[in-house]
Amino acid sequence: MFRFTKSSVDRKLSASIQNILGFKPGNIALYKLAFLHKSAGQEIIRGIKISNERLEFLGDAILDAIIADFLFKTFPTQDEGFLTEMRSKIVSRTQLNKLAQKLGLDHLIQLDGANGVYRSYRGDAFEALIGAIYMDRGYDFTRKILLNRIIKHYFDLDELVNQEMNYKSKVIEWAQKERKNVQFSVVNEVGTGYKKQYVVEVIVDGIPLARSQHYSIKGAEQLASEKSWAQISSEHIDKV
């Protein structure tokens, strides 16, 4: 594990995390790494840069597991579709971006460039933070922090239950009901480096339905799904 040099920056970051989440970090290097966006990544050897991407990958998996367990126990009579949709509502990129901003993580993220260029950097940093907590304190501690300090204070479950489903889920549910094959395919990449955007196309039974682009594949999928759902809904109305 790469370790940053201890400094007053470490103490300031440690105090910020304690203020936000209520605990003092053990290995502060993990948390510094969690807030290091790839645009400001540090080169360590032969062009290889370190950033929060690996911790983001880990945090994404840990977050999904904890939320799935929480929803399973909170809604014992609901089916798989409901639980999947509720998890999507909680861990969506838009939701995590808003959450990170509410927590004040913006001020901790190291970013090289205009914030507007990196639309998902807040949510990415939050997932990386979850990964850092897991590596530092383990699963049980991470679960307690996430449920008691985040879910309890920043999410209204009743509101989420009544919130409209995300468009990708709608398209998938419709395809299953109509016995159609739906695919979300990355058909192109626009731009280079950190300004690269992914172009995703929604394909139903081999026929392209809609496409959109975004800085993340998930974001592009949702935008393309929204366009697709508009067409599906319109066609349904016409047939009624």
C-alpha radius of gyration, the chain, whole number? 20
Same domain? 145 vs 109? yes
Winning range, highest mean pLDDT, from 27-31, 46-50, 85-89, 214-218: 27-31
Q: Is residue 119 part of a domain?
A: yes
Whether residue 23 has pLDDT greater than 50? yes
**Angle between helices 217-239 and 93-103 in degrees, nearest 10:** 130
pLDDT digits (tens, 9 = 90+) for 115-158: 445 668 899 999 999 999 999 999 999 999 999 999 999 998 88
State how far the Cα of 189 lies from the Cα of 225, in Å rounded to an integer: 18
Q: What is the mean pLDDT of residues 188-214?
A: 89
Give tens-digit pLDDT for 70-126.
999 999 998 877 887 788 788 877 789 889 999 999 889 988 765 445 668 899 999
Q: By percentage, how much of the chain surpasses pLDDT 90?
A: 47
Is residue 178 located within the same domain as residue 226? yes
Same domain, 136 and 190: no
175 and 154 inside one domain: no
The 10s digit of each residue's pLDDT in 28-44 is: 999 999 999 888 777 66
Which is more confident, 32 or 169? Answer: 32
pLDDT at 239: 40
How far apart, in whole angstroms, are the C-alpha atoms of residue 102 and residue 96? 10
Residues recorded for the chain: 240
Q: Of 114, 131, 162, which residue is a domain's last?
A: 162
Do 152 and 172 lie in a common domain? no
pLDDT at 220 over 70: yes
* pLDDT for position 238: 37
Question: Both tokens of residue 151?
Answer: 């879910």
Q: How confident is the model at residue 18 (pLDDT cuts 50, 70, 90)?
A: very high
Catalytic residue positions, numbered: 60, 127
- What is the model's pTM? 0.67
Note whether 70 and 90 are same-domain residues.
yes
Task: Give 56 or 236, the one with higher predicted confidence.
Answer: 56
CATH code of 99's domain: 1.10.1520.10
**H helices then E strands: how many in the chain?**
11, 5
What is the domain range of residue 174? 167-239
Instruction: Answer whether residue 240 shows pLDDT above 50.
Output: no
Higher per-residue pLDDT: 71 or 214: 71
Does 154 lie in the same domain as 57? Answer: yes
Instruction: Say what the pLDDT of residue 83 is.
Output: 85
Residue 3 lies in a domain: no
The confidence score (pLDDT) of residue 43 equals 67
Count Cβ atoms below 10 Å from residue 182 Cβ, excluding itself: 19
Q: How many domains does the chain have?
A: 2
Across residues 54-80, what is the average pLDDT?
93
Q: Are residues 114 and 36 in the same domain?
A: yes
- CATH code of 183's domain: 3.30.160.20
In a domain, 2, yes or no: no
